[in-house]
Structures are given as structure tokens and as C-alpha cells.
Homo-oligomer: A and B are copies of this chain.
Amino acid sequence: MTSYGVLGTGVVGRTLAARLVELGHDVRVGSRTAGTDAPGGATVSFADAAAHASVVINATSGLVSLRVLESAGAENLAGKVVVDVANALDFSAGFPPKVLASSDDSLAERIQAAFPAVRLVKALNTMTASVMVAPRGLPGPHSTFLAGNDAEAKTTVRAMLHEFGWADAEILDLGDLSAARALELYLPLWLRIMGSVGGASFNIHVVDGTPSGAADS
């Protein structure tokens, strides 16, 4: 059993929290508004959710993530594995949204820079919530990605993904946290594919034709 603090009560936060509760973990959901209904019991403050947890999941909108993590408190986050599943997409000028990541920068790196004692792993930001926690709901194998500077933290996240139902060969480690730029810059394509297939219940599978390819399962 692992103690999780899930920050954010949107669809992503609630879906992840409900699945972690179902798997038997000790989960607290952090919210701006403590005491409302949530998986694992009533919501608590961001600070209480972070303080309680060994693994913190940032499931807030990427546009407010830094402020939420400030509110959670650097002292409550220090040394913790933080899984950043967020995307910073600005829909204020309509569709398609402006993605704030660039070739030089990403939300994940901004979080790591602001909270250097956090063991940050970018993961699961490339799909809809229901696919994150129930990958076997899609037909056939598909892929999920990790980026981060702390190998042990990635192992922790990999174990969580296994519990969700991801096969090891489906989990591609893309390297250090700068790879989060690539994962966040994928969102415009994700949005266009959603428009083309007519729904969010999809994911991409890396089909690997290299002789020793480990990505194809």
C-alpha cells in the first residue's frame, strides 16, 4: 500500500484517485475546497494531501499547477515522488489552444526548477484519464512515456503503471526531464486525432520495426 496525494478534483484527478482507492492504496485528494466529496474520503487542502503522501500526483490544469504546488508547500513536497500528468493548454483564444511548452521549456521543467527537492516524473499526460487507469480498455497494445531525472522515482511510477494494467513493454522511458517538452508538444496532435476519430478514448502505440525493438509487444 502506498500513500498518494492527488492534487486536483477535475476528471483526471478524480479518475486517478478512484483507481488508486480501488487498488487498495491510501489516497487523499487535495483541493482548493476541503471537505467536499472525493474518492478516498472528503477532500483535504493541497498541503494536507502532499504532507500525507509518499507519492504526489499533479492532476491540476497546467496553467495553475505552479500556484497549486506553492499552496501545497515546498516543505510538504521535498523528497517526494511527484507525478506530473498536467498539460498547460491555453484555450482563451479558442481552438486549437496555445500549448505553453516549447523546444526549450516545459511545465515539468518549470515545476522541477521551482521545487528542486521534488523527484519529478512526467507521465500519462498524453492520453485521456480513462485510458491512463484502464489501458486494457483499448484494443491491443499501446504506449505510455516517462521523463525525469530520478531513476528511482521512475521505477516507482512504473510500478504504479503496472498496477493500472500497463505492460512493461508499453512503458517507454524517454530520458531526462527535458523529454517532457516533447510529451507536452504532442498535445496539439492528440487534440487533432481526437477530432478525427471523434472521441478521446484512443492512444498511440509505438510500432517498432528495429530488429531488437523493445517497444512493440
A: residues with CB less than 8 A from B are 96-99, 102-104, 131, 137-143, 145, 147, 172-175, 178-179, 181-183, 185-186, 188-189, 191-193, 195-199, 201-210, 212-216
Contact = CB atoms under 8 A, between A and B. Distances in A.
Copies of this chain present: 2
A173 B196 contact: yes
Contacts of A210: 197-199, 201-202
A202 B209 contact: yes
A48 B93 CA distance: 43
Most buried by B among A174, A207, A213: A207
Nearest to A193: B206
* Chain A binding surface, main DSSP class: mixed
A199 B214 CA distance: 11
Given A103-B97, A181-B96, A216-B139, A197 B206 contact: yes
Contacts of A209: 131, 137-139, 201-202
A105 B90 CA distance: 16
A208 B197 contact: yes
A96 B174 CA distance: 12
B175 A195 contact: yes
A69 B19 CA distance: 53
Given A138-B207, A175-B195, A207-B140, A215 B202 contact: yes
23 contacts: A96-B103, A96-B178, A98-B103, A102-B102, A131-B209, A140-B140, A140-B207, A140-B216, A145-B192, A172-B193, A172-B196, A173-B196, A175-B192, A183-B189, A186-B189, A193-B206, A197-B210, A197-B214, A198-B210, A198-B213, A202-B209, A202-B215, A204-B205
